[in-house]
Amino acid sequence: MFSSLSKLSALVAVLGIASTADASPTCTKPAVRKNWNTLSKPEKTDFLNSIKCLAKLPHNPALKTTFNPEGLPKRNESGSFYDDIIFMHMDISPPMHTQGLFLPWHRWYINAFEGALKDKCGFKGTLPYWDWTKDAADFEHASVYMDDDEESGFGGWGDPKQDFQITTGAFKDFHVSYPNYHRVRRNFTLQPYFPLSRSEYPIADLKANETFSATEVQRMIGDFDGDYQAMSQYIDAEQGARWAVHLIAGGDFADACPTNAVGCTPDTKWSANDPLFWIHHAFLDKIWSDWQNHNVKDNFNTFAPGATAKNTTKSSMMVSDGMFEATTFGNVIDTKGGFLCYTYE
């Protein structure tokens, strides 16, 4: 995490750049993003194969570093296109987890990922979401971890004898480059807060799954009418739902360092190494969309970047590290606004 508020403020200052982008096209036939558990086996296989396809494509030489946060691993130009997308999250993520920037930047980021799946790998579906409220009570045995099918399943928990690297499912041989070259790891950890900072995680004995129940999600959607800032902070709190799902899953999803990584600094946001990242964040995006539509008058078009990013407005441009088409924060407020064109079932 960043050492001071002033350092973070300096990082986000660049986001005050006004857009010169043209108006977005009209969205006439929005795509429908669906619940992962409702997809057919061929639909699941198409999605997972497309992710693996990105990991076989070469590094994009257009990738550049913008924020260079403390502990960021060096760019690996021998890595894959998928690794480049992970590097973006490490580089850009720290300021984008600041107050009100979290939701719009990640909405843009996962949409860019979906576009890459389609444009580069022929993906025919839409980015699915993972409703983890259905799995909260018994997360260790969540259906998404119980599916070991080598074509259509994400695979299970990692092997503790192999640094918790996963050995089942479609990603059993899935290697990533950051923070070093390794297979993706998962480590179920029901109470992950004990070894962490007491100032950031004051409820040390909290069970992570208590933060992402259906009741909690309904609170996110229904308790913050007209207050985008409070809603966003509640979702992205240190002991809130977003990060709790990461921590309970452990391994790469929780930004844990591989045992053989040299000079590794935890918490530099390589959590997108685990392909579960994309369906996790699609559900977070759905929660925001549900909040917007819960009270259209007071919620739909609101955006409040917060004190440390106060120069950021709807006309400010996203940072994209040279990887994808950048746009304004305002252009991602409406998922059917033209730059984006999708809805959730």
CATH number of the domain at 135, please.
1.10.1280.10
CA distance 188 to 256: 12
Q: What's residue 20's pLDDT?
A: 47
Number of domains in the chain: 1
Note whether residue 15 is domain-resident: no
- How do residues 81-132 score in pLDDT, each as one tens digit? 999 999 999 999 888 886 789 999 999 999 999 999 999 999 999 999 999 9
CA distance 175 to 180: 10
Q: What's residue 301's pLDDT?
A: 96
Note whether residue 323 is domain-resident: yes
Note whether residue 275 is domain-resident: yes
**Strand-pair category, 342-344 with 31-33:** parallel
Note whether residue 91 is domain-resident: yes
Q: What's residue 232's pLDDT?
A: 94
CA distance 280 to 173: 21
pTM of the full predicted structure?
A: 0.94
Note whether residue 234 is domain-resident: yes
Q: Is-contact 335 30, C-beta < 8 A?
A: yes
Q: What's residue 23's pLDDT?
A: 55
Note whether residue 108 is domain-resident: yes
Q: What's residue 95's pLDDT?
A: 84
Note whether residue 29 is domain-resident: no
> Which structural domain range is residue 96 located in?
41-344
**Average model confidence (pLDDT) across the chain:** 92
Q: What's residue 315's pLDDT?
A: 94
Note whether residue 32 is domain-resident: no
Q: What's residue 57's pLDDT?
A: 98
DSSP sequence for 133-158: GGTGGGGGG-HHHH---TTT------
Q: What are the residue ranges in the chain where pLDDT is below 50?
A: 1-7, 20-21
Q: What's residue 262's pLDDT?
A: 87
